[in-house]
Amino acid sequence: MEPEVAAVPDEGFAEIEVQEDEAMEVASSTSEQEVDEVLGGPKATVYFKDSNPGVQGRGIPKDEVEQIMQSEAYQRRISTCHLCGQCWYDGKFQPGCHECGGFPLTRICPVCDGQCGREWQRNVRLSHSFHEAHWDGICGLPPEMQRAFQIRKLTDSSEDTLSEGLQDLSTS
């Protein structure tokens, strides 16, 4: 008998079988007051179809979707490692897990090991997509000093330093 494996849900999507995909309607707003700052055009409302064909779908305004995406419950769900199940949002991670990468949602600058004082933010989407930690940030040190740190990391042959260097290469 096969052992049961606990599946970690993927970014809040329902795991149901849909008989066929249907196009979603997008109703544009005609009011000039409602301009989408990101797209530079009119705001839109997305309609979805319920699995019950007798029930009319309801429009969810973009503002409401954004509010849901900013909620603590959504952030906690989306910021959870797919490999080990640790919640980065709660400041947790699993040592040795590739997707966690040794840190929760932020980490010290991997280029200079925090000498510049800057924190890098986890790129949650890429971390999930590649099951490997990915970080967004810029080292605050001048390029010459950054190169010196990189050379030092590459020339130090200890196993820990090589392992850290490989991790830094994959996350920068």
Give me the residue spans of the domains in the chain: 26-70, 80-171
Q: Which residues of 85-96 are buried (b: 16+ CB within 10 A; e: fewer)?
A: ebbbbeeebeee
- pLDDT at site 171: 60
* Rounded (to 5) percent helix, strand, coil in the chain: 30, 15, 55
Q: What is the pLDDT of residue 18?
A: 45
**According to the model, what pLDDT value does residue 52 have?**
66
pLDDT tens-place string over residues 50-90: 566 666 667 788 888 899 889 999 999 999 999 999 999 99
Q: Which residue has the tokens 């005609």?
A: 30
Task: Phi first, then psi: give them for residue 64, nearest 5 degrees.
Answer: -70, -40
d(CA 81, CA 127): 8
Q: What is the pLDDT of residue 167?
A: 77
Least confident of 2-11, 106-115, 125-134: 2-11
pLDDT at 21: 44
Question: Across all residues in the chain, what is the average pLDDT?
Answer: 77
Distance CA 27, CA 37 (A): 17
What's residue 153's pLDDT? 81
75 CB-side CA count, 13 A: 12
